[in-house]
Amino acid sequence: MLSSFLSPISILLVLSLYFDDAVSSSEVSTKIGKGYRLISLEETSDGGLLGLLQVKQKNNIYGPDIPLLQLYVRHETEDRLRVHITDAEKQRWEVPYNLLPREQPPKAKQTIGKSIPRTAADYPGSELIFSYKSDPFGFSIKRKSNGQTIFNSSPDESDPYGNLVYKDQYIEISTKLPSDASLYGLGENTQPHGIKLYPNDPYTLYTTDISAINLNTDLYGSHPVYMDLRNGGGEAFAHAVLLLNSNGMDVFYRGTSLTYKVIGGVFDFYFFAGPTPLNVVDQYTQLVGRPAPMPYWSFGFHQCRWGYHNLSVVEDVVANYEKAEIPLDVIWNDDDHMDGHKDFTLNPTNYPRPKLLAFLNKIHAKGMKYVVIIDPGIGVNSTYGVYQRGMANDVFIKYEGEPFLAQVWPGPVYFPDFLNPKTVSWWGDEIRRFHELVPVDGLWIDMNEASNFCTGKCTIPKGKQCPSGTGPGWICCLDCKNVTATRWDDPPYKINASGQQVPIGYKTIATSAIHYNGVREYDAHSLYGFSQAIATHKALQGLEGKRPFILSRSTFVGSGAYAAHWTGDNKGTWDDLRYSISTMLNFGIFGVPMVGSDICGFYPAPTEELCNRWIELGAFYPFSRDHANYYSPRQELYQWASVAKSARNALGMRYKLLPYLYTLNYEAHTSGAPIARPLFFSFPNIPELYGLSTQFLLGHSVMVSPVLTQGKTEVKALFPGGTWYSLFDMTQAIVSKEAHFLTLDAPLNVINVHLYQNTILPMQRGGTISKEARMTPFSLIVSFPAGASEGQATGELFLDDDQLPEMKLGNGYSTFINFYATMSQKTIKIWSEVQEGKFAVSKGWTIEKVTVLGLDGISKSFELEISGEPVTDTSNIEFAASEHNFLNKLEDGHKKKSMVVEVKGLELPVGENFAMSWKMGI
């Protein structure tokens, strides 16, 4: 939903008062102090290292130095190394261990007492080596396999950064980087230069309600992790670095160095060895949490709008999608269904409960779903049951002993404190009550950065209505005073919040406000949406034991284990269309693979051409939703005939690919692998792909190449070496030995999607709703290199009861199939190996067709086995063949004979092993 309305709003007056004597975060080259020296080091009982660091020379820049630090280093797994540095004498704020489970560092008393040399030494693990020097203290991390240094915090005199700095409200550390390192991550922000981090662009991490149209700005999420990809001698190595810290921070990337400037917490570094990008995300999500399993229907198309004023409008939208034969699985409500914008309520006039329940019964019978929004702010209203129960349970964040007053859509609100166990229970009870009122299928948690239309300490004005009911709802109507009296509201170092160094409490909760157990908002601010997602996930799963679907705007490290994400308030422009790809790909790296942007843009009015191109791209977002602003014209996909045509084409392919997307969902849940990923994930040794931000892969081998420029009817796409086949016309093939650009035709209603060689792709017939599409017969696309005499291909398919909370084998309600194919000595063999086939057999799923790409002939010497038994009656099986059309000139100058061969009329049970073979023509 629109929030601080496309801000940043002018705040020059606030800034002029705020920064009179502040030290600016733009002074990135200031060297502070002489660092620390290592004065003791011992081996711990868990095989780690525990040491003490003493400050060398005190100073008061950004506050006094912490005199004594504790260093803890441990190889936690074969490919994960942790370096933890904190105050040796006082406990400091860390991301709560119950919120993000992980091992707790020991204290000095737990050491064995075995002394270790303190001058300089190595501490090797299976793949990573921790090395240190003692005075001034610095450490480096190297690969054992090739000696590559992946992190080095020890500066030289010529470096623009200094030694380790550790103060109460300012900690700083840097690392050297080779000039050829390609970095990705450090979000959430909208990156105009593409997916690669761009030297000297600002990277500030602090959850902020500021729309995604603002470039290089701290947006809704905080993900202090980056992936580093390097290519030496044609071989790529990837690793990642996570700084697990929820405090606000600036990260300065200069190309040859990277510096963290953090306003609190601890240095809790995790280094992930890779060496492939997929390995990195696997190792990262093993720590922070595997991505949540998503229900099958969530991979269908979603329609939303802020401004569906009454139920009849929603009914009309659903009817028009059906009439236009455009796929639609989920209809959403923004806050239009609410009574006075209050959570867990229904507007009795515009959304009367009896009529809404009748509507839901109707769409649920078809298999459609219904999702609504809830915001964290609870309206201060003595007649409002949610507020009454919240007050009775004492669940709200406090300021000076009273609930902190803010303003969001209902007017004056209090914010629930999701760090409080009582709040989690109360929240779950409110969701239960609402679900009994309205059987929603998922929840959309918005405004959870947390967003506040006011700033400072506020009171409800006397003698006037607030809000007035006229004018923009995001204008503050409370009586407020700025809060800058404490060092928590006015810290000594100013991060580049909102891209303008605004006060960190600006348009959010005052950072001196208090959470459960005395935790300050100053420390916990960026965890708010994460903690709400955890509470919401627990509540939904507890309702009926079904798999939850939650969409969250604000995210943190680990959010992907509970929620999907959309990229927030974007604009209906060609630039925003392009930016959406980079943000989507970043979130895959962050372990949040279920992600997408508002298709056609959230505001203002997209052009017809733009909406065509956006649905063509958005049909291949993992999370595919059209969402528009209250003030924008209607932009449902049926509003233009040309857009409806593009939607039928692109979404038609998406719905055929649903079994593939759902299998990628399973892969993400079990290994962290992004659903949508950069091309370098599959082709890491090709440097030309490292900055490619205009194309992407779904899984390992389906490549999407959208048109992103106004007026274009062709697209220049980069194809890695090998054979690629068009999924929309499998007679079209592209072949080359090396990566190369090729210009493809792309008329208004066409998007180019290609399948790489050596793949077996499971598909179904499709349809206009996933429930029906899911029950249609399967087909397999087997892709060999064009014209090759030898080849092999593999694929996977995961099927389950998607209402189950867990997505796994072994429960009796899931099936996993490995598909294999070989081409050798003029013989084609295709077979399956099924794990736990009972579920698939019970559903009656069958394979009706196998299409093989890249053959040079066909004959009728066909053999088929099912579960090891020969099938003698193959009279209904048909062969069809057509020749490939090569879209590019073949490099050897000769036209290879290459064919598409279809084997139709099959009735192969998906849940049973099968094997088929035939001889190619001579």
pLDDT of residue 679: 98
Q: Six-digit token pair at 895?
A: 């036209």
pLDDT of residue 12: 32
Which amino acid appears at position 350 of this protein? Answer: N
Distance of CA 530 to the CA centre of its chain: 13
pLDDT of residue 895: 62
pLDDT of residue 846: 98
The stretch 292-320 carries a mean pLDDT of 98
Distance from C-alpha of 59 to C-alpha of 57, rounded to nearest angstrom: 7
Residue 112 has pLDDT above 90, yes or no: no
Residue 26 has pLDDT above 80, yes or no: no
| Active-site residue, 441 included | no
pLDDT of residue 164: 98
Q: Apex CA 404: angle with CA 403 and CA 406, to 5°?
A: 130
Nearest residue to 852 (alpha-carbon basis) of 741, 721, 723, 713: 723
| Active-site residue, 446 included | yes
Residue 511 DSSP symbol = T
- Long-range CB contacts for residues 126-132, cutoff 8 Å, separation at least 24: 126/75, 126/78, 126/79, 127/78, 127/79, 127/273, 128/75, 128/79, 128/81, 128/271, 128/273, 130/49, 130/73, 130/75, 130/81, 130/83, 132/38
Residue 806 has pLDDT above 60, yes or no: yes
pLDDT of residue 15: 35
pLDDT of residue 24: 42
Which of 188, 569, 576, 626 is catalytic? The answer is 569
| Active-site residue, 235 included | no
Which of 430, 449, 626, 636 is catalytic? The answer is 449
Kindly indicate the confidence band of residue 517, based on its pLDDT and cuts at 50, 70 and 90.
Answer: very high
Residue 27 has pLDDT above 50, yes or no: no
In a 13 Å sphere around the CA of 663, the CA atoms on its Cβ side amount to 21
Kindly indicate the confidence band of residue 859, based on its pLDDT and cuts at 50, 70 and 90.
Answer: low
The stretch 847-862 carries a mean pLDDT of 85
Residue 317: phi and psi, rounded to 5, are -60, -50
pLDDT of residue 891: 59
Residue 94: phi and psi, rounded to 5, are -135, 160
Kindly indicate the confidence band of residue 887, based on its pLDDT and cuts at 50, 70 and 90.
Answer: confident
Distance from C-alpha of 468 to C-alpha of 474, rounded to nearest angstrom: 11
Kindly indicate the confidence band of residue 879, based on its pLDDT and cuts at 50, 70 and 90.
Answer: confident
User: Where do the H-state alpha helices sit in 239-384?
Assistant: 277-288, 311-324, 353-366
User: Lowest-pLDDT range, 10-19, 138-147, 244-253, 645-654?
Assistant: 10-19
Distance from C-alpha of 704 to C-alpha of 718, rounded to nearest angstrom: 11
Kindly indicate the confidence band of residue 388, based on its pLDDT and cuts at 50, 70 and 90.
Answer: very high
Kindly indicate the confidence band of residue 484, based on its pLDDT and cuts at 50, 70 and 90.
Answer: confident
User: Are residues 99 and 424 in contact, defined by beta-carbon separation less than 8 angstroms?
Assistant: no
Kindly indicate the confidence band of residue 921, based on its pLDDT and cuts at 50, 70 and 90.
Answer: low
User: Are residues 809 and 797 in contact, defined by beta-carbon separation less than 8 angstroms?
Assistant: no
pLDDT of residue 107: 83
Residue 732 DSSP symbol = E
pLDDT of residue 22: 38
pLDDT of residue 5: 39
User: Is the entire prediction scored with pTM above 0.75?
Assistant: yes
Residues composing the chain: 922
pLDDT of residue 556: 98
Kindly indicate the confidence band of residue 6, based on its pLDDT and cuts at 50, 70 and 90.
Answer: very low
pLDDT of residue 919: 80
pLDDT digit string, tens, across residues 529-586: 999 999 999 999 999 899 999 999 999 999 999 999 999 999 999 999 999 999 999 9
The stretch 707-736 carries a mean pLDDT of 97
The stretch 795-823 carries a mean pLDDT of 97
Share the mean pLDDT of the chain: 93
pLDDT of residue 788: 84
Which of 446, 489, 490, 802 is catalytic? The answer is 446
Residue 521 has pLDDT above 90, yes or no: yes
Q: Which residues contact 158 (CB under 8 A, 6 or more apart)?
A: none
Residue 117 has pLDDT above 90, yes or no: no
CB atoms within 10 A of CB 97: 10
CB atoms within 10 A of CB 886: 18
Which amino acid appears at position 93 of this protein? Answer: W
Distance from C-alpha of 918 to C-alpha of 492, rounded to nearest angstrom: 75
Residue 920 DSSP symbol = P
